[in-house]
Amino acid sequence: MRGNEHVVSALTRAQLFLLGASFLITLGSFAVLPYMSVLLHDRFGLGLGVVGAVLAVASLVQFSGGVVGAALAARIGLRATMLVALAVRTAGFAAFLPGLTRPVVAVAALFLVSCGAALYLPANKAYLVAGCGRERRPGLLAASGSAFNAGIALGPPAAAPFVLTSPAGLFTGVAVLFALVGAGHLLLPSVADGTAPAEEGVSARAAEEEAEPALGRRQLPFAPFAFTVLAVYVFMFFQHYLALYAVPRTSTAFYGAVLMGYAILLVGAQPLLARRLAALPYAAALRIGFGAMAAGTAVLALGGRAGIAVGAVLLCLGEIVLFLKNDLEALERSTAPSATVFGRQRLAAGLGAFAAAVVGGQLYGMAERASAVPVFWLVVSAQAVVLPVLLVVCVAAGAPARAASRSRPATRAESKSR
């Protein structure tokens, strides 16, 4: 607790504003986005196949576009990038108003909103940790994650009474909210994208992790990217298919309570665990995180209220450990600007989410047709165990060849080509 109190007391006004803005941005976004399938299908009459394709592409744009956001931040700066992103998102939510009578405009508005989200997040995170050393990053990123997740949790229930009865008022309110948040960003001072020099003790920790034969930094320099792909891939099975599984076996009210409890646990526990996660060796964090996801999805296979509730708690633990630790490791292992690092991490998350959407639908459909839906969760659990191990084995097997290639003297022909 003392470490978290230190982080809170040391926050600048700009950092406090960004944390508040993160909450309001996700609150407004998730007042609309979770209901897009309902609006596109029920109001506009689009087929479910078309709706699924639109949402899949929009999600991929929102995640993979983080690389573009990072490049823009490198060119025009962090604050300017956030302002451009918020202007795009404000225009997108405003465009939903004429889109209420024209489906093509509504789809275009959705893509505008997705593009704005892609541009905003890398610059937001980079600005939050700019000038901060390694000791402060875990608390700041954990606080940012909690702010985002609090908005995600409260947005859908806040908007539920207005989505179908008065969507025009909802879209207007969200557009005004984004315009006001954007105006607030105008008051932020400009900062350079970078972090302070590492504190004492970092070199010792790096040396300690270098000694880990399977997961040393030199063997897996791309590890945070690859393990983020796998973590999001496994997690999105839970995100996409828990409702289909839980509601028929329990009730809508129980499912809603599980989601609310999940959000409260995530928002509260992530800042409390941030410093411990930062001190945890990467290999241990991966074992704990993927182990929790494997155990959680296996428990879901039991069904019933207890199985679903306990499974959700374990999945929440896995999300807290893997998502935060991978971001921290990505920052430490890269010499690139922070926005570039976060942009790559968003791309990794997008690849994992896209793969889960493609594979998950097929797996769940097969399990449902075989009247063996619990087996679906056992297959997901097995993937959470096997895939990380396969990644480590494949990289470790190729490490000697890469080391030999790096140490081999250049031939005369190679020297001339250089």
pLDDT in tens, 241-253: 888 888 888 887 8
Rounded Cα distance between 73 and 77, Å, is: 5
Q: What percent of the chain has pLDDT over 90?
A: 33
- Check residues 213 and 377 and name the one with the higher pLDDT: 377
Kindly give the residue spans of alpha helices, DSSP state H, lying in 100-222.
Answer: 103-129, 137-159, 167-185, 202-210
Q: Which residue bears the tokens 């790559």?
A: 344
Write out the two tokens for 265.
Answer: 């646990």
* Sequence ranges of the domains in the chain: 12-196, 203-396
Rounded Cα distance between 363 and 381, Å, is: 13
Q: Give residue 406's pLDDT.
A: 52
Structure confidence by residue, pLDDT tens digits, 153-178: 888 788 877 777 788 888 999 999 99
* Least trusted range by pLDDT, from 119-128, 244-253, 325-334: 244-253
Rounded Cα distance between 257 and 289, Å, is: 24
Residues 20/23/25/28 CA torsion (nearest 10 deg)? -130
Write out the two tokens for 314.
Answer: 């374990």
CATH architecture of the domain 12-196 equals Up-down Bundle (1.20)
Q: Nearest CA to 59 among 354, 334, 267?
A: 354
Confidence of residue 407 (pLDDT cuts 50, 70, 90): low
The answer to whether the pTM exceeds 0.85 is no
Structure confidence by residue, pLDDT tens digits, 105-123: 989 999 999 999 989 989 9
Do 203-396 and 12-196 have the same topology in CATH? Answer: yes
Angle at which helix 137-159 crosses helix 2-9, to 10 degrees, equals 80
Write out the two tokens for 409.
Answer: 């003297």
Q: Do residues 382 and 295 make contact, with C-beta atoms less than 8 angstroms apart? A: no
pLDDT beyond 60 at 1: no
Q: Give residue 3's pLDDT.
A: 46
Q: According to CATH, what is the number of the domain 203-396?
A: 1.20.1250
Structure confidence by residue, pLDDT tens digits, 52-64: 778 778 878 888 8
Rounded Cα distance between 155 and 163, Å, is: 12
Structure confidence by residue, pLDDT tens digits, 35-90: 777 777 777 777 767 777 787 788 788 888 888 988 999 899 999 999 999 999 99
pLDDT beyond 90 at 191: no
Output phi, psi for 344, to 5 deg.
-65, -40
In the DSSP assignment, the letter for residue 34 is: G
Write out the two tokens for 81.
Answer: 């990038």
Length, in residues, of the chain: 418
Rounded Cα distance between 98 and 172, Å, is: 11
Output 135-139 pairs: Cβ under 8 A, ≥24 positions apart. 135/199, 136/7, 136/10, 137/195, 137/278, 137/328, 137/331, 138/274, 138/275, 138/277, 138/278, 138/324, 138/328, 139/3, 139/4, 139/6, 139/7, 139/271, 139/274, 139/275
